[in-house]
Amino acid sequence: MTQTPTILSKEPWAPTVLLSLRAVSHPRGSLLPSLVRYHLWSLCCVLQCTGIETLCVDLGDWDATEAALSKVGAIDLLVNNAGVAVLQPFLEVTKEAFDRSFDVNLRAVFHVSQIISRQMIARGVQGAIVNVSSQASQRALRDHAVYCSTKSALDMLTKVMALELGPHKIRVNSVNPTVVMTDMGRIYWSEPQKAAPMISRIPLGKFAEVDDVVNSILFLLSDKSAMTTGVSLLVDGGFLVS
């Protein structure tokens, strides 16, 4: 299992973006490559990045993360997209699943954001941070006891970060999508019998595409959201109003 912070754009005229990602192992193979390529391509097109540089580090290793990110140079924008979903009924949740989920979904976000925020403050940068959360932070879902808990905690972390980093002109928001049709999403939600009950609760009648989430992240990173911080932006097709 590899976690991969990905650095975008080293051009002096463009913002430098750190996109924190995690590879997901599955019987059908790693799900990271297509997700990474798509996100990097989409972000680079909008931000006019010409170079992509990757740095591999285990985000679950506190010291290794600290050492690796101390060498990446100036970062202007941060997207925390690392995440895992270990689904178990409440009465069957294991310590391993609990620890792994909180290590990746919350602690890694906390640590990476802490490191990068300190760098932004030292440089006097008016930066932006986007944490990728979920609609599951606000709605109980069967077999998602741990996952829902990590995402609820992430939403509150986002708000506290916004409160404390605001005086330093650093904005912090989250995006909270419904099921997204990534490679992983298609594997887990391609069966009509499983997908139908969820889709029936979404007023727009469909799951999100990667573009929907990427465009929301780009908005929150951009100056178009210059007065927006501490917000959880729903990308759920209306799921939470149904």
Q: What is the pLDDT of residue 59?
A: 81
Q: Which residues contact 199 (CB under 8 A, 6 or more apart)?
A: 205, 206, 207
Which residue do the tokens 């995690």 mark? 22
Q: What is the pLDDT of residue 1?
A: 37
CATH 3.40.50.720 is the classification of domain 3-241 = yes
pTM metric for this prediction: 0.83
- 114-164: pLDDT as tens digits: 999 999 999 999 999 999 999 999 999 999 999 999 999 999 999 999 999
Map out the domains of the chain as residue ranges. Answer: 3-241
116 vs 81: CA distance, rounded Å? 15
Q: What is the pLDDT of residue 54?
A: 73
36, 147, 165, 183: which is the annotated catalytic residue? Answer: 147
Query: In which residue ranges of the chain is pLDDT below 50?
Result: 1-15, 22-38
Q: What is the pLDDT of residue 185?
A: 81
Q: What is the pLDDT of residue 44?
A: 54
Q: What is the pLDDT of residue 5?
A: 41
Which residue do the tokens 């051009």 mark? 11
Instruction: Please give the structure tokens belonging to residue 16.
Output: 């430098």
Strands annotated E in the chain? 3-8, 17-22, 52-54, 77-80, 128-132, 171-177, 232-235
223 vs 106: CA distance, rounded Å? 27
Positive or negative, the CA dihedral 133, 137, 142, 144 is: positive
Q: What is the pLDDT of residue 52?
A: 64
38 is catalytic: no
